[in-house]
Structure 1
Amino acid sequence: MIQHLDVDGVPTLLAPTGGPMHAGLTFRVGTADETLARAGTTHLIEHLALAPLGLADYHVNGMTAPAFTTFHTQGSETDIAAFLTAVCGHLSDLPVARLDVEKEILRTEWSSRGAAAMDEIPLWRYGAQDFGLSSYPEWGLGALTADDLREWTARWFTRENAVLWIAGERVPAGLRFALPAGVRQPVPAASSVLPQTPAYFVNGARAVVLDSVVRRRTAASIFAGVLERELYRSLRQDAGLSYTTTAGYEPRGDGYASLRALADALSEKQDAVLGGFIDVLAKLRVGRIEQADLDATVAKREDSLSTAEVEAARLPSYALNVLTGEPNPTIDEHRAELKAVSLADLHEVAGEVTASALLMVPGGHTADWAGFAAAPTHSTEILQGTTYSSMEGNAALRIGADGVTLLRTDHPLTVRYDDCSAVLVWPDGARQLIGSDAIALHIEPTLFNLHPAAIPAIDAKVPDDRQIAMPARAPDAIPQPKAVVRQPTKPANSTWWEVPAMVLSGVGVLLVGGLSVLLTLAMLLTETEPGEEQLWGAVVVLWLLTVILALPIVKRRRRRRRRR
């Protein structure tokens, strides 16, 4: 059984373990509580709290997630008490002398991160806010001051907003938490920038990824296991198309959970993997779910509940539920929930998965043929304002009282000032406005015929706390307009018969025109005999015919002059 205790005003969970003693202190704060312009605040505080500890003879670690921050350690009772007491002391009195050093460490950490297939999923679903911020760099680090960090810790790193969990026989003696008083903070409300679902977006990764939001319940976690088995069987065992097929289920803390699945693919097999992946989803959506898959998934979960370490193993997730106020069933209650899951329950979850699905497809592919709508890549609103032309002739920039619109030949991009999550500011005048919907609008003054007051006008409209100073760029990194080369225009409406027609017209003009000239001269140089007056009528007819034959040539020459 997990015991509920209190240590120095902090709710505490204690469970026995047969292995080394370990413990964690979890706070209800993470990246989703930040803003884009201050992204990195919680991660920086986590680093500062650990930095003075240096090299420890026992395991210590810290982790910042979207909704939680945890400090974890493993060692003797004395080690654990010393670690957690020191961490709380550092949180109450941040070692700001290391502020610049830790900022550089975090920048290096971000730059060395390998790109993962799922990294972009959050911004496509949530935008440049709350749960979508995990897709962005920690741009806020540069502007953060010691006072900013102290204010953040005073609000979030408090006794009431923390839970201590210990896998061991007892609470280590001498454990003290020098934390301020505060309040339990709710999980931020999750946004959505998808006008409709199911939706898809294109990514260059060689994988197909599914992201869905489902109600948090046992049937949904079992569905993730069933989906993984079906993907493995269909795409790896039967078709030999994928090597990695996975599915996972992660509670969000607000009564919902993210359900994700992935299947990798070779470049030449991406089309087949995408089709096979969607076929698996369609199969489950219509209720074609194997009882054997349900039984196997439930049996695997039941086995994990039968281990001696089960209570200690679930301490971290148990602590998260305490922080968010979600239920923590007993082991027996959890077993009963597992056994109660039916095929009908999984069919219902499959409907939720499809209804909220966001599919990431490889480059060069779409999923509209399967009923998935393309996720927005441009704006529907075009603002009023002063329009500035591009020096390259392929776009225009409109700066108004409410925001900025980039007018392109394909689709416009608009960011309103009152919905702007951040503005990246370069010393050379370049700006990038990022809307809460993740629309990013980049302005290079060297590429537009801007009035000198245009950029300052934008800066004046965006609050200072949303502006992010970027490092200066080398001169050769600043884009310059390309010379616009006029391409010779091809004759319009030219057809295969034009040239032969011109030849025939020219020959006709020469023959009929020549005959007209000869006959006219003969009539003028000789006296007209009585009865020959009708020959003048023939002369007139020949000249009219000459003019008619010359018309195609005249029209063609006029078209050429107009195109020049």
Structure 2
Amino acid sequence: MIAQGKLDGVPVLLSPAPGLMRAGLVFRVGFADEPLARHGITHLLEHLVLYPLGLSDYHFNGTTGVEHTSFHMQGSPDDVARFLTGVCASLQNLPTHRLDVEKELLRTEANGRGDGALDAMPLWRHGARDYGVSSYPEFGLPAITADELRAWAARYFTRDNAVLWIAGDHVPAGLRLPLPGGRREPLPVPSSALPVTPAFFPGPPGVVAWNAMVPRHPASQVFADLLEREMYRALRQEAGLSYTAGSSYREIGADAAMVVAVADALPEKQEAVFGGLVDVLSTMQVGRIDQADLAVVLRQRGETLWNADQQGNRIAAEAAGLLAGRPVRQVEDEIAAIMAVTVGDVAAVAGMARGSGLLMAPEGVDARWAGFQPAPQLSEQVVIGTVHAAHTGRDAHLIVGDDGVTVVGGDDHLTVRFDACSIVRAWPDGARLFVGHDGIMVRVEPTLFRNGHQAVALLDARTPAGLRVDQPARRPDRIPVPPSDEPRPQPPPTRAEKLEARRIRASYVLAAIFGLGVVSRVVEMTGDRYGEDAQLALLALLLVGGAVIATSRIRSRRRRLA
């Protein structure tokens, strides 16, 4: 049973649970609220808040997610009260003297985390804003200032934008939540970078992944469970195509959810795994769902919900729901809604999922035969402006316009408009990287275009305020070098090449001596029968012949050396 109350103006959810008390203070802010040019600001603030709290005998931490940021603690009631009260105090007095240190720690954390197989999927579905921002590194860290952090805290970390949950039997007596007033921040509306769905894009080899937008509904949860069951049966047990085959369900935005399916594959079996996934989805869409399988899934999900409630593990999700404006659900009501799901309900969700699907196909797999359309990788329009030809060829050039920038290469072109730009990364040598809301990127390397630095100056003057994020200087070998029309200087000859040149000269001298000797002998033998002109012609012929013989021997020797 989840009880509700208030403490210092903050809503409180309380659920009895065994063991040590667990508690969390959740705020409705996450990566999806950050502009890409300030991506990382919430994570950075979370780190700064925890710094003054030092060490504890019990576990505490902070987490920054896509929609929520949480500070949580497990320990005695006094420890919980001390920790959460300290969090609120730290939010009011951020240790901004640690700003540069924490930025470096976040960069180190990201470097050790690595890339996940599914990290690119939000980018391809949503672009470079709201729910797509989580696909990118924390590009905004270098530009974040102490004043921006304080403004972020004042907007999002307020008592009206928070919920306290406690897995325990009471609110600790000494707990205080001295947070400023504010407003409840609504969940972002998920954007779309896909002109049509279902769509696909090329991904890494060895994995097939698919996601779909579905309604936030118990039937969608059951669909995700049945999809995993069917994938495991079809792809692993029956066909032996995939070792890992599963799916998950995650709520997104105010009234939607995301179902994600993943299956691994050997390179030679990637197409077969993709085909198997399509077959499973098609089968569920037409309602070919075994009633016995549905009964098993409903029973398992009901048992999972009941056990989670008894351990106090549902309460954090209910706190997130309360922040989104949804009423708190008791476990009995949630189980009843699950048990009411029918085969028809699941088939309807499967149909909506198929229509909104986004497939990450392994490289080389063309998914158009299954009704998927390629997700856009190029821009449809170019800007009008000054053209800067590339040093590398006539078909490549840069266009700098009043409303954006375009890079053209042959028939392909990439465009980012200033009014639809998410970030501009700027290096001291003049390189610029423009990222559009749709995820399209335009890289400008001034050394590769005629008057390239002049073009960059114009772009800088037209870039909207707040989008530029300066980067550290690149190593000289990372800066592209323009091609030169002048011949490259030749390196000095090696010792072996000098010896070979001497042999060539010696061969020509020997050929000349041989030719002169032959001519002299011929003149002695012929006497006056031939004139002087004929003798000179014969001499020239013999000299040329000797040279040909010498050259032939030299080439033969070079082939053997090669």
Structure-2-length-normalised TM-score: 0.84
Are 1:9 and 1:160, in contact at CA under 8 Å, matched by a contact in 2?
Answer: yes
CA contact (8 A) 2:203 2:361 kept: yes
8 Å contact kept, 1:201–1:359: yes
Evaluate the alpha carbon distance shift between residue 56 and residue 205 of structure 1 in structure 2; reply closer, same or farther with a 3 A threshold: farther
Corresponding residue for 1:123?
Answer: 123
Cα distance change, pair 54–276 in 1 and its aligned pair in 2 (3 A): same
Q: What is the deviation of 1:301? A: 1.1
The Cα shift of 1:391 comes to 0.9
**Hey, what does 1:424 align to over in structure 2?**
425
Q: Is the 8 A contact 1:253 1:321 kept in 2?
A: no
Secondary structure, counterpart of 2:361 in structure 1: strand
Larger deviation: 27-36 or 302-311?
A: 302-311
User: CA separation of 1:205/1:83 partners in 2, compared to 1, >3 Å: closer, same or farther?
Assistant: farther
Residue 404 of structure 1 corresponds to which residue in structure 2? 405
Q: Is the 8 A contact 1:20 1:75 kept in 2?
A: yes
Q: Distance in 1 between matches of 2:485 and 2:34?
A: 44
Q: Establish whether residue 477 from structure 1 lines up as the match of residue 478 from structure 2.
A: yes
CA offset digits 1:118-171 (Å, max 9, x no partner): 100111111110110001111111111111100110010000100000011110
Is the contact between residue 117 and residue 205 of structure 1 (CA under 8 Å) also seen in structure 2? no
Matches for 1:449-528 after TM superposition, within 5 Å: 449-450=450-451, 452-482=453-483
Report how far residue 401 of structure 1 moved. 1.1
Matched residue, 1:360: 360
Deviation at 1:484, TM superposition (A): 8.9
CA offsets per residue over residues 63-82 of structure 1, 9 Å max, x none? 11111001111000011011
Looking at structure 1, the residues matched to 298 and 327 of structure 2 have their Cα atoms a distance apart, in angstroms, of: 20
Query: For 1:368-391, what per-residue CA distance to the aligned partner results, in whole angstroms no more than 9, with x for missing partners?
Result: 111001000000011111111111
1:26–1:163 contact (8 Å) kept in structure 2: yes
Query: 1:5, 1:13 within 8 Å by CA — same for their partners in 2?
Result: yes
Does structure 1 residue 53 correspond to structure 2 residue 53?
A: yes
Partner residue in 2 for 1:7: 7
Q: Equivalents in 2 of 1:416, 1:253: separation in Å?
A: 27
Distance 1:417 1:468 in 2: 15
CA contact (8 A) 2:446 2:453 kept: no
Q: Match for residue 184 of structure 1?
A: 184
SS in 2 for 1:449: coil
Q: 1:484 to 1:360 in 2, by over 3 A?
A: farther
The one-letter code sitting in structure 2 at the alignment partner of 1:277 is L
Q: For the Cα contact (< 8 Å) 2:205–2:267, is it kept in 1? A: no
Code of the residue aligned with 2:404 in structure 1: it is G
Distance 1:96 1:382 in 2: 43
- Residue 437 of structure 2 aligns with which residue? 436
Using the alignment, how far apart are the partners of 2:450 and 2:79 within structure 1? 64
Q: Counterpart in 2 of 1:140?
A: 140
Change (3 A) 1:289 1:313: same
Which residue number in structure 1 is paired with residue 396 of structure 2? 395
| Separation of aligned partners in 2, 1:55 and 1:126 | 39
Q: Distance in 2 between matches of 1:202 and 1:442?
A: 21
Which segment drifts farther, 27-36 or 297-306?
Answer: 297-306
* Distance in 2 (alpha carbons) for counterparts of 1:272 and 1:224: 22
User: What are the equivalent positions in structure 2 for 1:232-271 lying under 5 Å apart?
Assistant: 232-271=232-271
Partner letter of residue 120 of structure 1?
A
Rounded Cα–Cα distance in structure 1 between residues aligned with 2:88 and 2:206: 43
The answer for the alignment partner of 1:549 in structure 2 is none
1:48, distance to aligned residue in structure 2 (A): 0.6
2:129 & 2:412 partners in 1: Cα distance? 23
- Judge conservation of contact 1:59–1:73 (CA < 8 Å) in 2: yes
Letter of the aligned partner of 1:373 in structure 2? Q
CA apart distance, 1:204:
1.5
CA deviations over 1:526-557 (Å, ceiling 9, x no partner): xxxxxxxxxxxxxxxxxxxxxxxxxxxxxxxx
Match of 1:561 in 2: none
Conservation of the 8 A alpha-carbon contact between 1:384 and 1:400:
yes
User: Is the 2:17–2:168 Cα contact (8 Å) retained in structure 1?
Assistant: yes
Q: Is the 8 A contact 2:165 2:316 kept in 1?
A: yes
Q: Is the 8 A contact 1:304 1:310 kept in 2?
A: no
Helix, strand or coil: the match of 1:418? helix
TM-score by length of 1: 0.84
Q: Which amino acid aligns with 1:46?
A: E
Does structure 1 residue 29 correspond to structure 2 residue 29? yes
Runs of 5+ in structure 2 lacking a partner?
Answer: 487-562
Equivalent residue letter for 1:473: R
2 CA distance for matches of 1:86 and 1:129?
33
- Could you give the per-residue CA deviations for residues 291-334 of structure 1, whole angstroms, max 9, x where no partner exists? 22211110101212333843711101100110001243322222
Distance 2:125 2:210 in 1: 12
State the Cα distance separating 1:60 from its structure 2 match: 0.6
**Which position in structure 2 is the counterpart of 1:88?**
88
> Residues 297 and 484 from structure 1, CA distance in 2 versus in 1: closer, same or farther, beyond 3 angstroms?
farther
Cα deviation 1:475-525 (Å, max 9, x = unaligned) = 11111235799xxxxxxxxxxxxxxxxxxxxxxxxxxxxxxxxxxxxxxxx
Moved more, 366-375 or 334-343: 334-343
Distance change in 2, residues 1:308/1:315 (3 Å): closer
Cα-to-partner distance string for 1:152-202 (whole Å, 9 max, x where unaligned)? 100100001000000111101110112111111111111111000000010
Q: Distance in 1 between matches of 2:241 and 2:355?
A: 26
Partner SS for 1:376? coil
Structure 1 residues 327, 206: CA separation in 2 closer, same or farther (over 3 Å shift)? farther
Contact 2:318 2:329 in 1 (8 A): no
Report the Cα distance in structure 2 between the residues aligned to 1:455 and 1:54, rounded to whole angstroms. 46
Comparing 199-208 with 306-315, greater Cα deviation is found at 306-315
- Which shows bigger deviation, 421-430 or 308-317? 308-317
Secondary structure at the counterpart of residue 160 of structure 1:
helix
- Is the Cα–Cα contact under 8 Å of residues 255 and 326 in structure 1 kept in the other structure? no
C-alpha distance in structure 1 between counterparts of 2:365 and 2:451, whole Å: 38
Q: Separation in 2 of the partners of 1:306 and 1:443? A: 56
Assess, with a 3 A threshold, how the Cα gap between structure 1 residues 296 and 471 changes in structure 2: closer, same or farther: same
One-letter amino acid of the counterpart of residue 159, structure 1: R
In structure 2, C-alpha distance between the alignment counterparts of 1:359 and 1:341, rounded to whole Å: 27
- SS state at 2:153 partner: helix
Aligned twin of 1:547: none
**Aligned-partner residue type, residue 463 of structure 1:** P
Which residue in 2 is equivalent to 1:167?
Answer: 167
Of residues 382-391 and 221-230 in structure 1, the stretch that sits farther from structure 2 once superposed is 382-391
1:222 to 2:206 alignment:
no
Partner deviation per Cα, 1:353-403 (whole Å, 9 max, x = no partner)? 111100101111121111001000000011111111111115111111111
Distance 2:198 2:253 in 1: 23
Change in CA separation of 1:201 and 1:412 when aligned onto 2, cut-off 3 Å: same
Q: Give the distance between the partners of 1:235 and 1:125, measured in 2 at CA.
A: 26
Q: Using the alignment, how far apart are the partners of 1:2 and 1:309 within structure 2?
A: 9
| 1:366 match: secondary structure | coil
- The CA distance in 1 between the partners of 2:295 and 2:68, in whole Å, is 33
Counterpart amino acid of residue 409 in structure 1: G
Q: Output the amino acid matched with 1:426.
A: W
- Would the aligned equivalents of 1:390 and 1:396 in 2 still touch at CA under 8 Å? yes
* Residue 273 (structure 1) aligns with: 273
| 3-state DSSP of counterpart to 2:272 | helix
Distance in 2 between residues matched to 1:243 and 1:328, nearest whole Å: 39
Distance across 2 between alignment mates of 1:171 and 1:91:
21
Letter in 2 for 1:6: K
Which stretch shifts more, 460-469 or 444-453? 444-453
The residue that corresponds to 1:210 in the other structure is 210
Q: Structure 2: how far apart are the matches of 1:400 and 1:295?
A: 61
Residue in 2 that maps onto 1:550: none
Any conservation in 1 of the 2:446–2:455 contact (CA below 8 Å)? no
Amino acid at match of 1:396: H
Q: Alignment partner of 1:464: what SS?
A: coil
Amino acid at match of 1:362: P
- Residue 185 and residue 475 in structure 1: after superposition, are their counterparts in 2 closer, same or farther (change >3 A)? same
Q: What's the secondary structure of 1:381's corresponding residue?
A: coil
